Structure 1
Amino acid sequence: MLTLADGNLPEVVSALRETLKIVSRTPVNIAVTGDSGNGMSSFINALRNIGHEGEASAPVGVLKTTQTCACYLSPHFPNVVLWDLPGTGCATESLENYLMEMQFSRYDFFIIIASEQFSMNHVMLAKSIEDMRKKFYIVWTKLDMDLDTSALPEGQLQQIIRENILENLQKKQVCEPPIFLVSSFEPLSYDFPKLRDTLRMDLIKNRCHDLLQNLSHTCEMAINDKATFLRKKITTQSLHDACGISDADDLAVCLKAYQLFFGVDDESLWQVAQRMGRTFTDYTNIMKSRDVQGLNKRDLRLTWMTCTVLRAFLSLLRYIPWLGDHIIHYFRRMKQIYLLEIVAKDTKTILRKVLEDSIIPQ
């Protein structure tokens, strides 16, 4: 990443945001599945904010209405294809055949629909999707009907349903997924608003996951290369050539030079914050190397390197020919390299936050 190698963090941010705009248009295929009669089609209509009698709605009914895969779009979820799959047991004799016939590998994301009971089919669907290392939700529909037929308070009934789902998942050692209790006929109530918000966020992360992993790796490699380059300069006592440091014993001067070298100086961070729509302190507060005074208080190793006793000892060594200079240079390099490592680590922390902030809308 050339701009990072040049220490231009604001330009990295601009390039990243443009790349993410392109990635955000990548289509995502969401499979909606579950036992026959659980209300997958009704859920899709509710998620799309379309009435069940609408012309573009998924057909619903008391009987099994979805016999083949059908796809639907929604303006509320751009570049997302919702696939209404036939229920388990509708077109196949076993779950294994069902997974093959429905071509589960083609989908990026799954929503498992359940109602009335959380069956072994639901558990095995969750287990199979987890084994594919793909994200899924459990959505319990018809909560309104459960509340109408139960004498329990709403909160207690919801807790019982959640605990039952988790208990069944744990039998097959399935990790706890997001669970939403909704009514497809009341899409503004219960967990439906939370489901929509969570899904929007997870879709962004789903699209950007591989890109962010690659960018994170590339950025960290570039930071490591810069740190290696500067470490060699410190070892050969040519810091002035690399960073323009005139007094290598002044850690405050060295710190500012290192921050400028890596692109995490105040001016660069101000520009990054403006381009990201964040505050300056969002980034400075996560830096360990904000200033030498604060760093000395928090870092015991650096405190020891700069303590009065050690400075006095090094002053005495100046009177010992050759050996004294050799030891003094060694401690100076040790402090400079350690400070360099702290700034490099801070740069990685800043970049990780920039990557995270890039996919999280303000």
Structure 2
Amino acid sequence: MEKALGGRKLLEMVSVIRGTLKTASSAPVSIAVTGDSGNGMSSFINALRGIGHEENDSAPTGVVRTTQVPTHYFYPHFPNVVLWDLPGTGAATQSLENYLEEMQFSQYDLFIIIASEQFSMTLVKLAKTIQGLGKRFYIVWTKLDRDLSTSALLEERLLKNIRDNIRETLQKEGVCEPNIFLVSSFDPLLHGFPELRVTLHRDISDIRYHGPLENLSHTYEKAINDEVTTCREKISSKSFDTLGIQNADDLEESLTAYHLLFGVDDESLQQMAQSMGKPTEEYRAIMKSWDLYTVLRGDWPLSFMNCNTVSCLYSILSYIPLLGDFIFNSLRKWKHRRLLEIVSKDTKAILKKILTDSII
């Protein structure tokens, strides 16, 4: 990417971004399903995977503890995603601290905490630990069918009570409110299951793309900032010809030169938009430096410095020995730095849009 930016080649940058994100799209993601023993973690995993308890690859279920060691299952709706059925708290060890150590929580990308009947302090501590690791987690209340059949409350009131109880319990311990889903493993098409699947698929994509996007963003930000630093040095030394500028007082010529310098000129944008399958106007629309009129309309200090009155003042000052030359050159450098900053910000905005469009 640094090489492509240095060569002012947007097309090559698109290729780098697409290649990186294509690799990221198949990166493995590990999801841990945990909770108190007896809350129905294995049944939930089977329901999420869309398979019955009797199938060969299903997670074993029962009224007694069935999961003694972490067991992995593949998630058929999403490639390279592994669901880990962890032993319930208290099943493998005597203390929560030992449980967290033995289950190696740091190796998982996302957690689903299963609860039913009550939201225990053990689950609160699990949530607090996961939050401390900086990982995403959901609270999934299972066995909703049983709650609905035994409660005298209306369904809407019961669901609200369950949610409020979970929120309040977490808030008391300083845990930020996570996504909460109320489901029945016997009805994976009803209640909160569809919303859970949508959220899960979105977060899996976010987890996969987060690191690569940060790296790509950091790379182009650094490369552009380095180019700006180099340009500012040339402006300070009045080496405008090395920037492709013959008349440094002609802002329109200077703008065209800076567009070419950063690879956001009209021809490059057209080629890049075509490769992305997007109209060029989508990228032009986010540019504040598309033409000189757009620049001056959006930047009042530069517009003021470029008005006729100030231009006349420049001419008068130029006749004052030493002081006039100093002021004249200082204002010229200021205008170029301002123009350079606007074009560099546009370049970053375009690259950010390319990243977003590549994921979509």
TM-score, normalisation: structure 2: 0.91
1:67 partnered with 2:68: yes
Q: Distance in 2 between matches of 1:277 and 1:112?
A: 41
Report the alpha carbon displacement of residue 152 of structure 1 after superposing the two structures with TM. 4.0
SS of equivalent to 1:126: helix
Q: Distance in 2 between matches of 1:69 and 1:312?
A: 79
Deviations 1:209-242, CA, capped at 9 Å, x for gaps? 2222222222111101111121122222222332
For these two proteins, the number of residue pairs brought into alignment is: 359
Give 1:330's aligned residue.
Answer: 330
**For structure 1, which segment, 104-113 or 333-342, has the greater mean C-alpha deviation from structure 2 after superposition?**
104-113
User: Does the C-alpha gap of structure 1 residues 281 and 34 become closer, same or farther in structure 2, counting only changes over 3 Å?
Assistant: farther
Residue type at the aligned position of 1:33: T
Q: Distance in 2 between matches of 1:158 and 1:316?
A: 77
Following superposition of structure 1 onto structure 2, how do residues 236-255 of structure 1 map, counting pairs within 5 Å?
236-242=237-243, 244-255=244-255
Report the alpha carbon displacement of residue 64 of structure 1 after superposing the two structures with TM. 2.3
Give 1:307's aligned residue.
Answer: 307
Residue type at the aligned position of 1:309: T
Q: Distance in 1 between matches of 2:324 and 2:109?
A: 65
Give 1:80's aligned residue.
Answer: 81
User: Does the C-alpha gap of structure 1 residues 4 and 169 become closer, same or farther in structure 2, counting only changes over 3 Å?
Assistant: same
Q: Distance in 1 between matches of 2:106 and 2:317?
A: 69
Q: Distance in 2 between matches of 1:305 and 1:157?
A: 66
Q: Distance in 2 between matches of 1:116 and 1:256?
A: 67
Q: Distance in 1 between matches of 2:20 and 2:259?
A: 26
Give 1:288's aligned residue.
Answer: 288
Report the alpha carbon displacement of residue 338 of structure 1 after superposing the two structures with TM. 0.9
SS of equivalent to 1:82: strand
Following superposition of structure 1 onto structure 2, how do residues 130-149 of structure 1 map, counting pairs within 5 Å?
130-149=131-150
Give 1:203's aligned residue.
Answer: 204
Equivalent pair of 2:47/2:186 in contact (CA under 8 Å):
yes
Report the alpha carbon displacement of residue 57 of structure 1 after superposing the two structures with TM. 1.1
Q: Distance in 1 between matches of 2:277 and 2:188?
A: 32
Equivalent pair of 1:45/1:58 in contact (CA under 8 Å):
yes
Residue type at the aligned position of 2:296: N
Residue type at the aligned position of 2:188: P
User: Does the C-alpha gap of structure 1 residues 252 and 24 become closer, same or farther in structure 2, counting only changes over 3 Å?
Assistant: same
Residue type at the aligned position of 2:173: K
Give 1:164's aligned residue.
Answer: 165
Give 1:38's aligned residue.
Answer: 39
Report the alpha carbon displacement of residue 117 of structure 1 after superposing the two structures with TM. 1.8
Deviations 1:122-178, CA, capped at 9 Å, x for gaps? 111111111112221222222333333334444443333222222111112112222
Deviations 1:293-350, CA, capped at 9 Å, x for gaps? 2332332322332234322211222333443333222211110111101211222233
Equivalent pair of 1:14/1:275 in contact (CA under 8 Å):
no
User: Does the C-alpha gap of structure 1 residues 156 and 251 become closer, same or farther in structure 2, counting only changes over 3 Å?
Assistant: farther
Q: Distance in 1 between matches of 2:154 and 2:275?
A: 48
Equivalent pair of 2:27/2:208 in contact (CA under 8 Å):
yes
Report the alpha carbon displacement of residue 3 of structure 1 after superposing the two structures with TM. 0.4
Give 2:346's aligned residue.
Answer: 346
Equivalent pair of 1:111/1:136 in contact (CA under 8 Å):
yes
State the percentage of identical aligned residues.
60
Q: Distance in 2 between matches of 1:266 and 1:347?
A: 13
User: Does the C-alpha gap of structure 1 residues 172 and 261 become closer, same or farther in structure 2, counting only changes over 3 Å?
Assistant: same
User: Does the C-alpha gap of structure 1 residues 55 and 216 become closer, same or farther in structure 2, counting only changes over 3 Å?
Assistant: same
Give 1:52's aligned residue.
Answer: 53
Give 1:178's aligned residue.
Answer: 179
Q: Distance in 2 between matches of 1:120 and 1:208?
A: 34
Give 1:103's aligned residue.
Answer: 104
Q: Distance in 2 between matches of 1:16 and 1:66?
A: 42
Q: Distance in 2 between matches of 1:282 and 1:153?
A: 50
Residue type at the aligned position of 1:267: E
**For structure 1, which segment, 314-323 or 171-180, has the greater mean C-alpha deviation from structure 2 after superposition?**
314-323
User: Does the C-alpha gap of structure 1 residues 334 and 181 become closer, same or farther in structure 2, counting only changes over 3 Å?
Assistant: same
Equivalent pair of 2:20/2:212 in contact (CA under 8 Å):
no
Q: Distance in 1 between matches of 2:343 and 2:172?
A: 47
Report the alpha carbon displacement of residue 95 of structure 1 after superposing the two structures with TM. 0.9
Residue type at the aligned position of 1:176: E
Q: Distance in 2 between matches of 1:210 and 1:203?
A: 12
Gaps of 5+ in 2: none
Following superposition of structure 1 onto structure 2, how do residues 254-269 of structure 1 map, counting pairs within 5 Å?
254-269=254-269
User: Does the C-alpha gap of structure 1 residues 252 and 178 become closer, same or farther in structure 2, counting only changes over 3 Å?
Assistant: farther
TM-score, normalisation: structure 1: 0.91
**For structure 1, which segment, 311-320 or 145-154, has the greater mean C-alpha deviation from structure 2 after superposition?**
145-154
Gaps of 5+ in 1: none
